[in-house]
Amino acid sequence: MRLTTMTDYALRLLMYLGENPERLCTIAEIAQAYNISQPHLMKVTNRLSRTGWVETIRGKNGGMRLAHKPAQISLGAVVRDTENDLALVECMGEKQACSLIGRCKLPHILAGALEHFMDYLDQYTLADLLPPEPQEAPSGTGPGAATASPVELPIRML
């Protein structure tokens, strides 16, 4: 199984927006950051906007941002929204021309595998893909705070 370019770019776009929550981001800057096609990224943005993952603002100072907090964006849900066809083999889709239909167990097995794959993705959110946010230093440990003298350990000679 291979995810489509649409899904790949959608996840990259969401990660970029998640790493820049303080401002609106543009298609041009994201395309440049990842060296991907602006027209294709525009299609991805449109899909993510229609499915509610991204909020877009038009105009001169427009751009986009996440419509939800990263911890609320399920990777499984994004994949389901961006993949057009999750049928792993022909007989799992609408076209069923296989001569083995009705006596083959492969579709059932593959459907179970796909279900496990999606369940696994559902355990993760966009927040899991982002670098951890810097922690504020506890009081008394930041720059300029008094430092304790190092503890001297006895040196043992052999």
Range name among 44-53, 64-73, 83-92 with the lowest pLDDT average = 83-92
How confident is the model over 97-117, as pLDDT tens digits? 777 777 888 888 888 999 999
122 alpha-carbon distance from chain centroid: 11
Please provide the average confidence, as pLDDT, over all residues in the chain.
Answer: 85
Task: Give residue 24's pLDDT band: very low, low, confident or very high (50, 70, 90).
Answer: very high
Ordered DSSP codes for 14-71: HHHHHH-TTS-B-HHHHHHHHT--HHHHHHHHHHHHHTTSEEEE-STT-EEEESS-GG
Kindly tell me if the per-residue pLDDT of 86 is higher than 90: no
- In CATH terms, the fold of domain 5-127 is Arc Repressor Mutant, subunit A (1.10.10)
Q: Where are the domains of the chain?
A: 5-127
Q: Is residue 78 a contact partner of residue 113, using CB atoms and an 8 Å limit?
A: no
